[in-house]
Structure 1
Amino acid sequence: MFNAVVISVIVMTILSLLRINVMLALLIAAGVAGLMEGLTLTETMNMLISGMGGQANTALSYVLLGIFAVMVSYSGITGFLVKKIVSVLKRKRSIMLLTIAGIACLSQNAVPIHIAFIPILIPPLLHLFDKMKVDRRGIAVALTFGLKAPYMMIPAGFGLIYHGIITDEMKASGVDIALPSVTYAMFIPSLGMIAGLFIAIFISYRKDRELFDDKQDAINEVAATEETKLSFTLCHFLTIIAIIGAFIVQLVTGSLVLGALTGIILMFLFTIVPFKEGEKIVNEGIMMMGMISFVLLIASGYATILKETGAVEDLVQSTIGILGDNKIIVAIAMITVGLLITMGIGSSFGTIPLIAALFVPICTTVGFSPLATAALIGTASSLGDAGSPVSDSTLGPTIGLNADGKHHHIWDTCVPTFLHFGIPLMIFGIIAAMVL
């Protein structure tokens, strides 16, 4: 109960719920974890800083993607997409949320750009959401579903990486399993994601929700968006070329940094963004994505503290040691432990190697099949994206939905996504462990 993982995650959660900035909450939680493991504050901060490099590539990618997104928005091409959505989906709230979830799904497998589409697509739609009185918590749930469910279910794009990590880490711990078997094992937990999405859209967030004070101004602005006649120009065509160029470079090199940098350079070379506006655009991009980048860096350092001090291994061993060999009790305990770990770390992909090395021997001893073991590992690691304040799958939706300052990261994104995905994932993950 007094393990450093448990206490530090509780501290981070309470501070976040009290509306303390998530970055500060994470720093305080890391300090608590270090002190509980016998480190001084200086040693804790040094270890945290040394571990921040684990997410440096991702952080830089997100900053560059933010700059590129602002450039794409500057070109005006998003107006076409917004106008189309307005004309087709007006007064069709549930269809709109399902469409947003579908677009987000494409970002994980078909066009693996992860959260890069959010700052391009969502901010121009905020006034439409307000006009339709859409509950933004439902939009957050739809976006998080699309950022999370596809890589759990489909072994393509990020899903291929995710399933591959589970396969490799299980083999490294002595259990051979084929990639298709991992996909099969993750099917039942994925059903929990689908159930959570439908509950959110058709039950939880069906009622009207108004967020703006000056209703008429917001409505007038939407009306202006709808009535504006947009013409396709050379600037828009060149913007599409820049987007395609960034996508190709990303696929060929496997680097989000190089892909985003390519798009930025092309936008300048094509003079879509004037050089004199460059500094302003870059500053806006950094403002948009800088916060999420720093949170990911600190989360990486926090994870290093938990791993290097042995706090995670102590938590698993002490928990399982108390429970014996009752499969359902062990499954519940492992999922709960996974929840605690991933709430702090916030990364499904980064959590798998950590928990696989600990879970596989326990599953083998208790008698879980390889399929059940894969389901437990996949579910436990997926919880990191199901409501953690430091997950990019919750930070990403907040970046888009809070562009006008009317959306709170914890209460409007993390709490709804945890309730609709975290809890169903735990339930369906335990079911999968018992039936596979």
Structure 2
Amino acid sequence: MAAPVHPYNWSVEGFGEQSVRQVVRLSAGGRQLRVRLSNRYGKAPLRIADATVARSGRGAALGPGGLRTLRFGDAREVTIAPGAERVSDSFRLPVRPLTRLTVTLYLTGSAGPVSFHAEGLTTAYRADGNRTRDVTGRPFQGPTTLATYALSDVEVSGPVPGATNATNAENTEDAEDAENGRSAGRSDSRRNAAEGTVVAFGDSITDGSGSTPDTDRRYPDRLAELLTAAGSRLAVVNTGISGNRLLSDNLCYGERALTRFRHDVLARPGVRTAVVLIGINDIGAARSPDTGCGVTPESTARQLIDGHKALIRAARAQGVTVVGATLLPFRNALYGYWSPAKNALRKEVNHWLRTSGAYDRVVDLDRVLRDPADPDRLLAAYDAGDHLHPNDAGMDAIARAVFPYLSHG
């Protein structure tokens, strides 16, 4: 979640007597779920009169079976104070890894700004009135956005549903209850709940800029797929924020990474490993013209390195393994990001990342994604077109590079 300032989505106007429907893909499977809602950056109470979770269908439609009403302290309505978050009561809904769920919130009197994530890259829908139990999706045929509103997390726990007849067993509540009873006490460790969380932490590259919307092709998405295919029990959480800086707050791109690391990474339930890819915006955006977001101050290599050291200390103090990643090449990047001096600064930071031993492990993404014929430039096959962000193939390359550096559980 970032501060709600972008005018091109629904945050500023808010949601008065409207339902907002959002689709998420889980990285881990289990039987018990909780939904975390956020008003962390709101200026007024966020009033949610009704909320549901269901398996996703096509577009705004819901899939068959499994509709659940969210409750908060056994109440259907919840008011979240400015700066606060609320977690729903736990509810049973057997899900496998990579399951898509649809969360529908009915908001009343919730004037903007509403806390949001600008680059959710999954279509969000809204409709007038309480449409939380609509299964057709037809009331949600108006304008859509790719942002995420008030929805912070879906937390999963409990053993993963078994493979035998699981598709049929998940279609009705009675079948779910029967399947729950049959699987109680299973000792097969491959069916256990997630045993730890990997948090991908960074800027727009982690956030998925350059990947195809509505396809879950961000690198943390691909990493979750690789872990699942390998039989891992690790969950993956994406805490990337497009435009985020390591050292400085930004009106449009959120709190600096140094500040938000504790909330977005270390406060996550079961966090085991953090993968850190951050700093290119401190370098590229420095002294760029103010477009309404504020000016990014110029940083030295020492300041950026000290920032990374602070993240490492915070992670180790909590027993979290921290994996660093080198900064990607960006010659001729749009927005006036690149210059020889800025590139030299990137190389100096990367040299420290590779050689200092400060991080527990280092993934050399610079070498993975660069053009061998022009090492300061992204390989064309991985370039989304702006010479800064990887495309779907580049995201896959990042995930495959990170994967071997994780203890798979």
TM-score bracket relative to the smaller structure: under 0.3
- Structure in which a larger fraction of residues adopt strand: 2
TM-score under structure 2 normalisation? 0.21
* Structure having greater relative contact order (Cα 8 Å, sep ≥ 6): 1
TM-score under structure 1 normalisation? 0.20
- Structure in which a larger fraction of residues adopt helix: 1
